[in-house]
Amino acid sequence: MAVMVTGETFDREVGASSVPVVVELFATWCGDCRRVTPVLDHLAAEFVASVKFVQVNADEWAELAERSGVSSTPTLFVVDGGQQVATVVGAQPEAVLRGSFEQATGRVDGARSELAWVPVDACTLSTAEQPTRLAELDDLFASLRGLR
């Protein structure tokens, strides 16, 4: 089961963890984030004995997303010994997501997955830009309604 972390708990839960940590940054409005949730929940349960899985709401904790260099959701990264050692961006297939957990446990040598060619499906809307983009869409749809 994933642990929700905040700006106040991130360093304690992730940076100071005695076990490798898989961190997911997500947004509640992100369809791809919702699409990978069941897979990540399954993997978190499978790897519970050897990997800590935490989630960060990128909208609520934008400074954590920025500090981590995250500009798309979903983004997963592996932290081991306080260092970020791997990153997966987008709603990737289960095999790619599993690779993150396997890398965290040391079951793989860091080689690129055979599925690394898979196109990334990610919401690339910056959380800071979301209100501006929504206003632009509202204006667009309002102008389109006037065309009828």
CATH number, domain containing residue 120: 3.40.30.10
pLDDT at residue 40 greater than cutoff 90? yes
Q: Is 58 helix (H, G, I), strand (E, B) or coil?
A: coil
CB-CB neighbours of 135 under 10 Å: 10
**Taking the model in full, what pTM does it have?**
0.71
pLDDT at residue 146 greater than cutoff 60? yes
pLDDT of residue 81: 86
pLDDT at residue 59 greater than cutoff 70? yes
Average pLDDT, integer, range 57-82: 89
For residue 25, what are the domain limits?
Answer: 3-145
pLDDT of residue 61: 92
**Residues 7, 9, 15, 19, CA torsion sign:** negative
* CA 42 to centroid of chain Cα atoms: 15
C-alpha angle 132-57-3 in degrees, rounded to nearest 5: 180
DSSP-derived letter for residue 15 is I
pLDDT of residue 68: 82
The total domain count for the chain is: 1
Stretch (H or E) spanning 10: helix 10-10
Band of residue 123 on the pLDDT scale cut at 50, 70, 90 = low
Q: Which residues are catalytic, by number?
A: 30, 33
